[in-house]
Structure 1
Amino acid sequence: MAGEMASETRYRTTLPATGHSEVNLCSVLSLGKDLSKITMPVMFNEPLSFLQRVAEYMEYAKLLKQAALETSPLARLQRVSAFAVSAMASNYDRLGKPFNPLLGETYELQRDDFRIICEQVSHHPPVSAFHADSDDFIFHGSIQPKLKFWGKSIEVHPKGVVTVELPKWNEAYTWQNVNCILHNVLVGQIWMEQLGVLEIKQHGGANLKAELSFKSAGCHSKDLHRVEGFLVDQDRKRLAYLYGKWTESLRACEAALYEDAVERIKRERSPQNSPGHKKVLARLSSLKVGAFKPLHQDAIDESDLPSDVDGVTVDEIPGSTLLWEVTPRPPNSADYYQFTTFAMSLNELEPELKEHICPTDSRLRPDIRKLESGDQDGAASEKSRLEEKQRVSRKSSKHKKNPPNESVPRWFLKGTNNHTGLEDWLYQGGYWDRNYADVEDIF
């Protein structure tokens, strides 16, 4: 399959025009409003479809390739955990809202080491399904994003389970992403945090589990963006400790090294048997987990998660392994919606690519293309036209076999995830055959 993928080329590092997304939502929203159910002005958007944001998962796909090369189940889980954390790094400082995909919209992306196809499989509720594959791994799932405005903050709830399969080892890994909170969207310094517990289950083989806590912290806290937790076996024995910041890097070490580091810090900071020291000992195994724990997850014994109470925070531990480090953003990122270098390339449309992509591909959306080129008024006009066209199409479908609220996706069908037992959207194959006959004209 690697031979079918696009050869590595040099991708663009700027957009056709500079641009910045507005953030102040006071004039258009009310408290508790679900942003996924309303039409937002174009000034709040960045020039990408949500399907393209889903494809940003793959920026650090090399971590999955590395996982497939590991001979130890523990080492494979570490690499997959790093991949799960790395997928959040591109969110940092990205204040623009991606365009809501139209029903039936698709997006494909090919690189030397993977290819991914995404499709908008439902409009109400909005659901985006995706399937990525390579010689070493399969990555698939669906996301039903919910965005809510709470006066001072916006909460992004990425509902949906994602799955990584490593065929060589007959293993799979499943998880649901934690929530993203954007603070001070009306007044003050805007800051962002990922919040909650990320549980990654390993299916097959050793059946290990990663339990990572994304810390809640103020915008000036030294623990802002911090993530840490343990990899445990079926008996909940701690095997490894993972730690870092989702905006920077993730490291791993043996659990014993973490325990030694905690004891050293305790000895340095608290006299033996002092009230303060006893307080640390009493509370060391406690953890205040954020209020947004994914509903599908099993109950997690919070006493088994790391703690940073009373200032006991473990920084870099000697003997740790660097699993992942973020790629620095280009110097001009602030002029282009805070895009990463990877994001800069997602809407690039070269002539040879235009000849063979599906007519429903996000790159062909005129509203996104106009915003990317700096034509905000033109983008708003095209956005309104596409939304009206979609409404007319849905009304006309009332007279057809399928009701308007039921989507009939081209490339995905509802089925059961064999690893979780939950209903999901599963790829049916055929997209890369390039047979796009009878594809609906949605643009």
Structure 2
Amino acid sequence: MGTEDNKKQQGRGFFSSIASTLSGFGSAMQKSVHGMLGYEGLEVINPEGGTEDSEAEAQKGRWKQEDRDSYWKMMQKYIGADVTSLVTLPVVIFEPMSMVQKMSELMEYSYLLDMADTCEDPYMRLVYASSFFVGTYYAFQRTWKPFNPILGETYEMANHGGITFLSEQVSHHPPISAAHAENDHFVYDITSKVKTKFLGNSIDIYPLGRTRVVFKRDGVVLELVPPPSKVNNLIFGRTWVDSPGEMILTNTTTGDKVVLYFQPCGWFGAGRYEVDGYVYNAQEEPKILLTGKWSESISYQLCDLDGEPLAGTEMKEVWKLAEPPVNDKFQYTHFAHKINSFDTAPKKLLASDSRLRPDRYALEKGDLSKAGSEKSRLEERQRAEKKRRELSGDQFVPKWFDPLNETAVTPWGDLELYGYNGKYDEHRAAIDKSDSVEEIIDINSIEFDPWQY
């Protein structure tokens, strides 16, 4: 009886919230962009949320009312548009991390790729590799926005799983980032570009990137097509992220593949986080079923040709989410904090590294005023550098990645590809051979300079 009463109470809370939202629709549309422009301690929750109406939610923001007014009026004209690089947003909605940093978060569960490389079973190899890619979605669902990288900005990571990781912002219009990671087991390369569609109360995000993993033991190549994402409740309700659709990971060497379906979130949170699918052989016959939640764990079991669990086998866990910090201000994982730390930085950090961005660092320290002014200063300098190049006839050339004169065709558009040129290996080898003693990195002793090249 108590459970039934609770369900009725939750139902009344839901419908009263809808009624309250509708009654305040006219005024709220004019007075708030609180979902888009940030709450204090934003959290991703099940979309049924609580019973607070939109005006109560708006009061949680760190915005003055007049600021919300001006940004909502500005954003109205972008409905239906790709806002990837059209809009300059205020620092209050940002997390203290750049997008080229965020690319390295995928490496948190890199041990799964190590296991895939050493695995003799071609289907279990795909189980490990696909679980590696699913594992990052817990980090990617954060509702804070990373800083847009400055052209030429880089991020270096060392001291994690024997991996050397490097990313670089290789294009500003359109925004394109490239990354390369490598250890004793695999080589990982990505060209990353997103296409967005602003819908008023939500934004659709389409990943136009190409992700490729090459295993060193036998040279097998995997390519990934991730699902699109949707940022919900930009105007009304609490902001949350969903990634409904198919993730396809293909072994281009053998033709085997994994198809995982990310369930869309339904009413009252039904299907939230759920992932289901199969490993198929080249003849598209199911060999192993996969199931779980990207917020918790993924398990696998051998199956028959009908996709049913094979008699005498049992479900086994292959990946489990690392316990995240409790009530973290920016919803960071422990690994995300590690990314921002100089503990993962190599010797003689590049001056173009994201850690050195003064706006990012000020935001990390909680100084929003300085973060905002530094962000504006960097953007102004970027525009000035572009104007200088145009006047002198110079063309920006990435330092560590080269254009491949090759185009990838994705479900959401074509993508110009960049490839790692190997110069960073030479750079690091020269540093490692030097006799200089590396001092503790002081954020104030190295000026952020992505234009040094």
Cα distance in 1 for partners of 2:340, 2:282 equals 44
C-alpha contact 1:19 1:374 (8 A) present in aligned 2: no
Cα distance in 2 for partners of 1:323, 1:420 equals 31
How many corresponding residue pairs? 363
C-alpha contact 1:227 1:244 (8 A) present in aligned 2: yes
2:340 is aligned, of 336, 347, 351, to 347
Distance 1:353 1:320, change over 3 A: closer
Q: Give the C-alpha shift of residue 319 in structure 1.
A: 0.6
Secondary structure of 1:357 counterpart: coil
Amino acid at match of 1:63: L
Cα distance in 1 for partners of 2:228, 2:218 equals 31
Q: In the alignment, what sits opposite 1:170? A: 219
1:114 is aligned, of 159, 163, 177, to 163
Query: Is 1:237 the counterpart of 2:229 in the alignment?
Result: no
What TM-score does the superposition give when structure 1 sets the normalisation length?
Answer: 0.75
Unpaired stretches in structure 2, ≥5 consecutive residues: 1-38, 43-60, 63-67, 432-447
Q: In the alignment, what sits opposite 1:77? A: 126
Q: Give the C-alpha shift of residue 81 in structure 1.
A: 0.8
Cα distance in 1 for partners of 2:346, 2:247 equals 38
1:409 is aligned, of 377, 398, 403, to 398
Seq. identity, %: 32
Q: Give the C-alpha shift of residue 255 in structure 1.
A: 2.2
Cα distance in 2 for partners of 1:257, 1:331 equals 43
Amino acid at match of 2:382: Q
2:295 is aligned, of 247, 251, 256, to 247
Amino acid at match of 1:89: Y
Cα distance in 2 for partners of 1:419, 1:233 equals 24
Cα distance in 2 for partners of 1:91, 1:125 equals 21
What TM-score does the superposition give when structure 2 sets the normalisation length?
Answer: 0.74
Cα distance in 2 for partners of 1:196, 1:349 equals 36
Secondary structure of 2:360 counterpart: helix
Query: Is 1:26 the counterpart of 2:72 in the alignment?
Result: yes
Quick check: 181-190 or 227-236, which moved more?
A: 181-190
Q: Give the C-alpha shift of residue 148 in structure 1.
A: 3.3
C-alpha contact 2:187 2:213 (8 A) present in aligned 1: yes
Q: Give the C-alpha shift of residue 416 in structure 1.
A: 6.3
Q: In the alignment, what sits opposite 1:388? A: 380
Q: In the alignment, what sits opposite 1:186? A: 235
Distance 1:391 1:418, change over 3 A: closer
Q: In the alignment, what sits opposite 2:198? A: 149
Cα distance in 2 for partners of 1:116, 1:420 equals 26
Cα distance in 2 for partners of 1:64, 1:353 equals 22
Distance 1:411 1:167, change over 3 A: same
Quick check: 32-41 or 65-74, which moved more?
A: 32-41
Point out the structure with the larger helix share.
2
Across the aligned residues of Structure 1 and Structure 2, the Cα RMSD in angstroms comes to: 3.0
Cα distance in 2 for partners of 1:418, 1:145 equals 15
Q: Give the C-alpha shift of residue 85 in structure 1.
A: 1.0
Amino acid at match of 1:324: W
Cα distance in 1 for partners of 2:227, 2:126 equals 18
2:272 is aligned, of 213, 216, 224, to 224
Secondary structure of 1:116 counterpart: strand
Q: In the alignment, what sits opposite 1:105? A: 153
Q: Deviations over 1:274-323 (max 9, x none)?
A: xxxxxxxxxxxxxxxxxxxxxxxxxxxxxxxxxxxxxxxxxxx9711211
Q: In the alignment, what sits opposite 1:323? A: 318
Secondary structure of 1:410 counterpart: coil
Q: Give the C-alpha shift of residue 235 in structure 1.
A: 1.6
Secondary structure of 1:135 counterpart: coil
Cα distance in 1 for partners of 2:173, 2:416 equals 17
Amino acid at match of 2:365: S
Q: Give the C-alpha shift of residue 398 in structure 1.
A: 1.0
Q: In the alignment, what sits opposite 1:430? A: 423
